[in-house]
C-alpha cells in the first residue's frame, strides 16, 4: 500500500495517510474536519438533519478535485461550520454531529 515513484532505476514508495473523514481527538469524535485546505463547493446538510453513516455531508474542492465528505456514523447535525464558497484550512471544523435521541 502506497504510491510508487520510479526515478531511473530507483523505485521509491511513499505511504500516504488517509485523512478522509478524519476526526480530531481535540475536537471529539463528533467533529468532521477538512482533510486538506480547499473550498467548500456544496453543503448537503443543515443543523437538525438526521444522517446515517456514509451520507454525504458536503463537497470540498482541492487540488482540482472534488472530495465528498460523509457522515462517519449515524447522528443528528448539531452544527454546520461552513457554507458553499468558504475557503477552509487543513483540519478546519466543518460539521459537528450529535447522538440521535431515541
Q: What is the pLDDT of residue 41?
A: 98
What is the tally of structural domains in the chain? 1
Range of the domain at 46: 20-98
Question: Does the predicted TM-score (pTM) go above 0.75?
Answer: no
Which pLDDT score is estimated for 18?
58
The answer to whether 94 and 81 have CB atoms below 8 angstroms apart is: yes
Burial class (CB in 10 A: 0-12, 13-18, 19+), 87: exposed
Residue 49 placed within a domain? yes
Pairwise CA distance, residues 90 & 88, whole Å: 7
* pLDDT of amino acid 58: 98
Q: Is residue 82 part of a domain?
A: yes
Does residue 84 belong to any structural domain of this protein? yes
Look at residue 96 in the predicted model and tell me its pLDDT.
96
User: Average pLDDT by consecutive 10-residue portion of the chain (102 residues)?
Assistant: 74 65 59 94 98 97 94 96 96 94 72
Report the CATH number at residue 81. Answer: 2.40.50.100
| pLDDT confidence of residue 23 | 47
Amino acid at each position: 500500500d502506497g504510491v510508487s515513484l520510479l526515478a531511473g532505476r530507483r523505485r521509491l514508495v511513499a505511504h500516504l495517510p488517509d485523512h478522509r473523514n478524519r476526526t480530531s481527538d481535540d475536537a471529539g469524535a463528533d467533529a468532521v474536519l477538512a482533510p486538506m485546505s480547499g473550498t467548500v463547493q456544496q453543503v448537503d446538510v443543515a443543523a437538525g438533519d438526521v444522517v446515517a453513516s456514509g451520507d454525504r455531508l458536503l463537497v470540498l474542492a482541492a487540488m482540482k478535485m472534488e472530495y465528498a465528505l460523509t457522515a462517519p456514523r449515524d447522528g443528528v447535525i448539531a452544527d454546520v461550520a461552513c457554507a458553499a464558497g468558504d475557503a477552509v484550512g487543513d483540519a478546519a471544523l466543518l460539521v459537528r454531529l450529535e447522538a440521535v435521541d431515541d
